[in-house]
Amino acid sequence: MQWHQSAGILGFVACLSGGAAGDWVFAQSAQPHCDINSVFTDPGFDVWVARFERHGREVYDRRHDIVAATGVKPGMVVADIGAGTGLFTRLFSPRVGASGKVYAVDISAEFVHNITRLSRAQGQTNVTGVVNSRTGLGLAPQSLDLAFICDSYHHFDYPSAMIQSVRAALRPGGSLVVIDFRRIPGFSSSWVMGHVRANEAAVVSEIEASGFRLVEDRDFLRTNYFLRFVPLKSGSMK
């Protein structure tokens, strides 16, 4: 069975209502609650490491390609949103170097605690853990060069509020990278079809509705897509 992110979560409820994920209307209100994230309230860290950081999971097998595709550079400030077990947090850390910073953002305090514990044990002093809310990152305005969301977007139960929080946290010139499951009838697994609420086109529409523009759609993954967005200028929705 394939799970989301970086091992990450962000504690967002992803639930299909009537099975019509592709027709879901983007709104500020929460999605229907189906307790999909209840397992992460007391997650059992080692169990999720075994599930998330394993061969056969595409984002794990292609993790180095994914990090390279983000274009992260020394000195950048990155937020790994839905950081989970910290797979990408730990990969971003040496890339940004001593002059950069990585925020490991997750709604699970246990995940955040263990990410910071493991990062310190590996000498990664540029990692800061952040336990966020269901509606925001908890980061300062214009504090990020890159917001990274891998296999966690479909767990947002307040997607508009969360993406607007991302937009506020990005510096001028910053970008948002979203990786999530392709939801295609006849191609995607039954688990994806039942677990992931929206397809790629719907996700693009949702994020653009919150003040972003799609600038890159890379096709090097098979079961996941890779999208990059940049925020629109204040007052502009074009």
Identify the structural domains of the chain with CATH numbers, from first to last. 21-231 (3.40.50.150)
pLDDT the model gives residue 51: 75
How many Å apart are CA 233 and CA 28, to the nearest integer? 21
pLDDT the model gives residue 155: 86
pLDDT the model gives residue 43: 57
122-142 as b/e: b if 16+ CB within 10 A: eebebbbbbbbebbbbebeee
Among candidates 108, 142, 135, 140, which has minimal Cα distance to 210?
A: 135
pLDDT the model gives residue 236: 54
pLDDT the model gives residue 4: 37
Among candidates 168, 6, 165, 164, which has minimal Cα distance to 88?
A: 6
pLDDT the model gives residue 235: 54
Among candidates 10, 6, 7, 2, which has minimal Cα distance to 157?
A: 10
pLDDT the model gives residue 54: 86
pLDDT the model gives residue 233: 84
Q: What is the mean pLDDT of each run of 10 residues along the chain (238 residues)?
A: 37 34 36 48 64 84 98 98 94 98 94 93 97 95 98 91 97 98 95 92 97 97 98 69
pLDDT the model gives residue 2: 33
